[in-house]
Structure 1
Amino acid sequence: MPQHVVIIGAVALGPKAACRFKRLVPDAKVTMIDRDAIVSYGGCGIPYFISGDVSDLKELRTTSFKLVRDEKFFHDCKDIDVLTRTEALRIDREAKRVHVRNLDTGALSEIPYDKLVIATGAAPRRLNIPGEDLPGVHAVANLHDATAVKDMISSGSAGRAVVVGSGFIGLEVAEALADMWGLEVAVVELMDHVLPRNISPSLARMAEHHLAEKGVELYFGEKVLAVEGDGKAQRVVTDKRTLEAELVILAAGVVPSGELAREAGLAVSPRGGVLVDEFMRTSDPDIYSGGDCAEIKNVVTGGTMHLPLGSMANRQGRVIGTNLAGGEATFPGAVGSFAMKLFERNVAGAGLTPEQAAQAGFDALSALVIQFDRAHFFPGKDLMTLEVTVDKKTRAVLGIQGFGSAGDALVGRVGAVAALMQKGCTADDLSVLEYPYSPPFSSAMDIVNTVGTVAENMLAGMNQGVSPEEFGRLFEQKGEACFFLDCREQDNAAPYLERHPGVWHNIPQGQLRERLGEIPRDKAVVLVCNTGIRSYEAQITLEQAGFKDVLNLHGGMAALKQSGEDPNAE
């Protein structure tokens, strides 16, 4: 008798596992069930449907050859049965049956299985506050939410929006509302910077500065207490202020939907994610799980993590499909790579931030570099920022994050390092990484090589410096504790000398050896240039001359300007 595989959940992982399995075992029977009427769609495209980049919601449901992935598609093209509007109530592992209910008729039934896949996804984190369910409040978790939000703003029913949470979805929706629709948008974040689980404060300040330039209001360290309004959302109340809003987007993260697995006696994590092994098997060898409801191995820390990404679900789905057919495919875990667009800038990363590394018990350092994304002489070049986190003891790369205008170029660099991190790599590996070179695409000494060499130097006790935020705090003291030395040519330094007389000083790097007497030895010397390269050379010169407290501004003036810390900014 042909094997019967039942899959609970039919958005990303479920369809991938089902299709892979059917290709390997065409005679087997596969049944997918899902609570929703809409299955197999690209949820990560929702913000771009709201923005208008994706014009028709159906595009998120179609194949590359324009067929809609609905029940008929799966039945006719894949020989897979799909039961929509069907809720899985309970898993009877002993009898190997799933108890289900038809949400339209209320009818109860049982579906027998030989192998089972749990792909129940994740649910938006509820705030449990008054007014959370008012009209005008949306979580943007599915295509129904996407349609409701777009209908509301396209009808002119919302002029001001508040987004709660500054993670991926929160910022992507904030951009969509502000950029395409011209809404006044405020983002409220409980932590002290945007993308707090993904990038360091240094890169966050760059993203925040760009968001502010685009008119997005940002409020950090604030807790949302309530949504108020007369029958619909009109105000968001935090512990520090009240913000007017007709549209409220709840984007405070998601939680894995592992209740069904837990109630069936399967192993789950404290946060509720289904625990799986390298074969994507649960604690029951006849039940697999993956996607947003599961936890996977964190390759960097060796622990587990929840990584709700469609790309992750698809890769895991293929592994599960192979193993359902008797294979032994493995999923090694992940370093947690990501990428996102923010107006005219982009953010990408993989692995741990410096703060996360410290929390995980690593003694780590971070190296930040700003460099052109292609040859300095090639037209169209632009600055890119990379920050790498390295374990001091093992020299292992624990994480890399970046910020820049050329999204494909940024993702290419981060992707290359993420691939190395899967197998384990060191700062030394980055400094000699063979990255494809041609002036229109990269530099002869690529920024990935440069960030590796900077990390190597810092591990050797060289190139000690300050971040843009630390520089800003020191500069507020107006030279009381530090001597600020601009190593650029005089025409670059002139506006700063004029505005900050007696505080800002200038000696071009090429003149430094002859003018050492102009530099005090009883203060910390903070060196500045455009991107941190000439100031590093100046640091070596001063230390060779016996100066004991010399700091280089990592990323230079470019980092200050991108972070909004430029001393000459209005």
Structure 2
Amino acid sequence: MSEHVVVIGAVALGPKAACRFKRIRQDAKVTLIDRDDVFSYGGCGIPYFVSGDVSEANQLRSTAFHMVRDEPFFKDIKGVDVLSSTEATSIDRANKQVHIKNLKTGEESVLDYDQLVIGTGATPRKLNLPGEDLENVFYVGNMHDAERIKQGITQGKYGKAVVVGAGFIGLEMAESFADMWGIETTVIEIFDQILPRMCSPVLARMGQLHMEEQGVNFVLGQTVSSIEGNGKVEKVVTAGGEVEADLVIISAGVIPNDKLARECGLECSERGGIIVDEAMRTSDPLIFAGGDCVIIKNAVTGDPMFLPMGSMANRQGRVIGGNLAGHDEKFPPAAGSWVVKIFERAMSGTGMSLGAARQAGFDAVSVMLIMADRAHFYPEKDMMTLEMVVDKATRRVLGIQGFSAGGDAMVGRINAVAAIMKFQPKIEDVSNLEVAYSPPFASAMDVLNAIANMADNALSGMNHGQGPDIFAEYWADRESGDYCFLDVREHADAEPFLEKYPEYWHNVPQGEIPQRYDEIPRDKKLVLVCNTGGRSYEAQVMLDALGFKEVLNTHGGMAVIKAYGVDI
């Protein structure tokens, strides 16, 4: 009798594992189970279906050659049997059986297995708020929710939307409402920044301001206490006030679906999620698991990590498929690479933000650089802001995040670092990282090399200063007389600020410092400013050599100051 592999869960990981195994073992029988009647779809594409960028729901279930991944597709094309609308109710490891129930007929039965895969995914985190059950409150947990939201939008039912949670899905949903449909949209977040834990407050502020320019409102640092309405949602109540809404999306993260695994005695994390090894094998050698229901290893810290991403699930599925067939494949530790599109900008990162690194116990610092993503003389270019996080003692790169209009160009840089994170790279590994060069695509000294060089200079004490957040504090305290804001650009660039702030703004072009340094006060903190931070760094080195004691270079210069929203 041929081997039978049963796969529980058919959204991302399950189909990849099932089809990979079946390609290797054509003689084996594979059964794929899912409790929904809509399966094998790209869940990460839901915000783009809601926005209209993806016009039909079936496009998220279709292959590149326009075949819908339904039961006949898997049977005829892949040789895999699918039991949809079927729930796995329990796993009997002793007898190697999965107990199942047909959710349409109520019929219960048993499937024998030789090997088993658990790909049960994750469930949206419930906030258990009063009013959660009102009409037009959604968690966007599946395609059915997405289709109901899209139907209501196209029928003109929604004029005001509230999104609870400023993570990836929350921001993408907010963009889809405000951009494509003109719905008045407010995002409420319990933390005081968007993308908490993923990037620094400075980059988060840049992203938030860009979204505000496009019409999205933000309520940060507030918890939602209730959702109110008469049958249908009418408003969202926070500790600080009320926001009118006829549509609410709750996007407060997800919880791994580990109930089946936990109940049958597989090792699970106390915080949720199935424990697997590098082969994606559970504590039972005949059972594999992957995707949004498992815990993997963090490439930066070595600690367990929950990382629910479709890209992870697909790669893990291939590893599992090979190992089901007797291969010895490993899934490496992950750095947690991400990217999110927000209107005309993108934010991306890999590894740890500065706050996350310090919380993990690293003696970490970060540097920020803004620079053209192509040769400065090439006519078509975008400015890219990168922030690199490094460990002081070891010079190890702990993470890098970015914000840019040229999303593809920035993601390429982030991906280059992501690829080496499992090797624990140091600053010099990125400083000397080889990238493809031609003026239409990069600078001769690429922005990625440049920020690593900046980190090197910062650790050696050559480049010292602050980002736009600290500059904003200094500027707000300018009347104290403790600071001299020194613009080291040419006079024409500095002139508008000299006229507007004659008491506080001063100008000595960087090239004139050797001849004019006597004009610069030595009893104040010198806050240096240029366009992007390059000339102010050169000026800082000069002034250090001339004996000035407190010289602070503003990283990113006026470009980052403006992007951060400093009122100047």
Q: Percent identity?
A: 58
**Aligned-pair CA distance for 1:517:** 1.6
Do 1:255 and 1:271's aligned partners in 2 also have CA atoms closer than 8 Å? no
Does residue 1:552 correspond to 2:553, yes or no? yes
1:85 aligned partner, one-letter code: S
**Aligned-pair CA distance for 1:21:** 0.2
Do 2:197 and 2:355's aligned partners in 1 also have CA atoms closer than 8 Å? no
Question: Could you say which residue in structure 2 is the equivalent of 1:257?
Answer: 257
Query: What is the alpha-carbon distance in structure 2 between the residues aligned to residue 317 and residue 274 of structure 1?
Result: 15
2:335 aligned partner, one-letter code: V
Question: Could you say which residue in structure 1 is the equivalent of 2:540?
Answer: 539
Do 2:191 and 2:221's aligned partners in 1 also have CA atoms closer than 8 Å? yes
1:50 aligned partner, one-letter code: V
Query: What is the alpha-carbon distance in structure 1 between the residues aligned to residue 555 and residue 101 of structure 2?
Result: 59
SS of alignment partner, residue 233 of structure 1:
strand
Deviations 1:96-145 (A, max 9, x none): 11111111111111111111111000110111111112111111221111
SS of alignment partner, residue 30 of structure 2:
strand
Deviations 1:443-492 (A, max 9, x none): 01110010000000011112111111111011001152211111111111
2:126 aligned partner, one-letter code: R
1:102-113 matched pairs, under 5 angstroms: 102-113=102-113
Do 1:557 and 1:566's aligned partners in 2 also have CA atoms closer than 8 Å? no
Deviations 1:213-243 (A, max 9, x none): 1111011110001110010111000111100
Do 2:7 and 2:116's aligned partners in 1 also have CA atoms closer than 8 Å? yes
Query: What is the alpha-carbon distance in structure 2 between the residues aligned to residue 44 and residue 459 of structure 1?
Result: 39
Do 2:132 and 2:227's aligned partners in 1 also have CA atoms closer than 8 Å? yes
SS of alignment partner, residue 69 of structure 2:
coil
Do 2:375 and 2:439's aligned partners in 1 also have CA atoms closer than 8 Å? yes
Gaps of 5+ in 1: none
Question: Could you say which residue in structure 2 is the equivalent of 1:155?
Answer: 155
**Aligned-pair CA distance for 1:7:** 0.6
Question: Could you say which residue in structure 1 is the equivalent of 2:96?
Answer: 96
Question: Could you say which residue in structure 2 is the equivalent of 1:391?
Answer: 391
Do 2:291 and 2:313's aligned partners in 1 also have CA atoms closer than 8 Å? yes
2:326 aligned partner, one-letter code: G
**Aligned-pair CA distance for 1:392:** 0.9
Question: Could you say which residue in structure 2 is the equivalent of 1:435?
Answer: 435
1:12-23 matched pairs, under 5 angstroms: 12-23=12-23
Does residue 1:490 correspond to 2:487, yes or no? no
Do 1:256 and 1:271's aligned partners in 2 also have CA atoms closer than 8 Å? no
SS of alignment partner, residue 516 of structure 1:
helix
2:121 aligned partner, one-letter code: G
SS of alignment partner, residue 10 of structure 1:
coil
Question: Could you say which residue in structure 2 is the equivalent of 1:514?
Answer: 515
**Aligned-pair CA distance for 1:433:** 1.2
1:256-335 matched pairs, under 5 angstroms: 256-335=256-335
**Aligned-pair CA distance for 1:424:** 2.1
Query: What is the alpha-carbon distance in structure 2 between the residues aligned to residue 324 and residue 493 of structure 1?
Result: 66
Deviations 1:6-26 (A, max 9, x none): 111000000000000001111
Do 1:120 and 1:258's aligned partners in 2 also have CA atoms closer than 8 Å? yes
Query: What is the alpha-carbon distance in structure 2 between the residues aligned to residue 287 and residue 45 of structure 1?
Result: 30
**Aligned-pair CA distance for 1:523:** 1.5
Does residue 1:221 correspond to 2:217, yes or no? no
1:552 to 1:479, Cα distance in 2 relative to 1, 3 A: farther
**Aligned-pair CA distance for 1:422:** 2.3
Query: What is the alpha-carbon distance in structure 2 between the residues aligned to residue 97 and residue 466 of structure 1?
Result: 61
SS of alignment partner, residue 234 of structure 1:
strand
**Aligned-pair CA distance for 1:271:** 2.2
Do 1:259 and 1:272's aligned partners in 2 also have CA atoms closer than 8 Å? no
Query: What is the alpha-carbon distance in structure 2 between the residues aligned to residue 282 and residue 499 of structure 1?
Result: 66
Question: Could you say which residue in structure 1 is the equivalent of 2:5?
Answer: 5
Query: What is the alpha-carbon distance in structure 1 between the residues aligned to residue 322 and residue 288 of structure 2?
Result: 12
Do 2:86 and 2:101's aligned partners in 1 also have CA atoms closer than 8 Å? yes
1:88-237 matched pairs, under 5 angstroms: 88-237=88-237
Do 1:116 and 1:288's aligned partners in 2 also have CA atoms closer than 8 Å? yes
1:22 aligned partner, one-letter code: K
2:509 aligned partner, one-letter code: P
Query: What is the alpha-carbon distance in structure 1 between the residues aligned to residue 65 and residue 433 of structure 2?
Result: 38
| TM superposition outliers: structure 1 runs of 4+ over 3 Å | none
Query: What is the alpha-carbon distance in structure 2 between the residues aligned to residue 216 and residue 415 of structure 1?
Result: 29
Query: What is the alpha-carbon distance in structure 2 between the residues aligned to residue 72 and residue 295 of structure 1?
Result: 33
Query: What is the alpha-carbon distance in structure 1 between the residues aligned to residue 166 and residue 538 of structure 2?
Result: 38
Query: What is the alpha-carbon distance in structure 2 between the residues aligned to residue 225 and residue 466 of structure 1?
Result: 38
Do 1:397 and 1:424's aligned partners in 2 also have CA atoms closer than 8 Å? yes
Deviations 1:180-233 (A, max 9, x none): 000000000000100012111111011011011111101111000111001011
Query: What is the alpha-carbon distance in structure 2 between the residues aligned to residue 377 and residue 117 of structure 1?
Result: 54
Query: What is the alpha-carbon distance in structure 1 between the residues aligned to residue 88 and residue 496 of structure 2?
Result: 68
Give the alignment's TM-score, normalised by structure 1. 0.98
1:516 aligned partner, one-letter code: Y
Query: What is the alpha-carbon distance in structure 2 between the residues aligned to residue 531 and residue 44 of structure 1?
Result: 35
Question: Could you say which residue in structure 1 is the equivalent of 2:56?
Answer: 56
Does residue 1:528 correspond to 2:529, yes or no? yes
**Aligned-pair CA distance for 1:270:** 2.3
**Aligned-pair CA distance for 1:566:** 4.5
Does residue 1:81 correspond to 2:78, yes or no? no
> Which is worse superposed, 513-522 or 526-535?
513-522
Query: What is the alpha-carbon distance in structure 1 between the residues aligned to residue 105 and residue 497 of structure 2?
Result: 73
Query: What is the alpha-carbon distance in structure 1 between the residues aligned to residue 248 and residue 484 of structure 2?
Result: 48
Query: What is the alpha-carbon distance in structure 2 between the residues aligned to residue 307 and residue 421 of structure 1?
Result: 16
SS of alignment partner, residue 229 of structure 1:
strand
Question: Could you say which residue in structure 2 is the equivalent of 1:47?
Answer: 47
SS of alignment partner, residue 64 of structure 1:
coil
1:554 aligned partner, one-letter code: H
SS of alignment partner, residue 413 of structure 1:
helix
**Aligned-pair CA distance for 1:381:** 1.1
1:509 aligned partner, one-letter code: Q
**Aligned-pair CA distance for 1:68:** 0.4
Do 1:487 and 1:538's aligned partners in 2 also have CA atoms closer than 8 Å? yes
Query: What is the alpha-carbon distance in structure 1 between the residues aligned to residue 560 and residue 525 of structure 2?
Result: 20
Question: Could you say which residue in structure 2 is the equivalent of 1:404?
Answer: 404
Give the alignment's TM-score, normalised by structure 2. 0.99
Number of residue pairs aligned between Structure 1 and Structure 2: 567
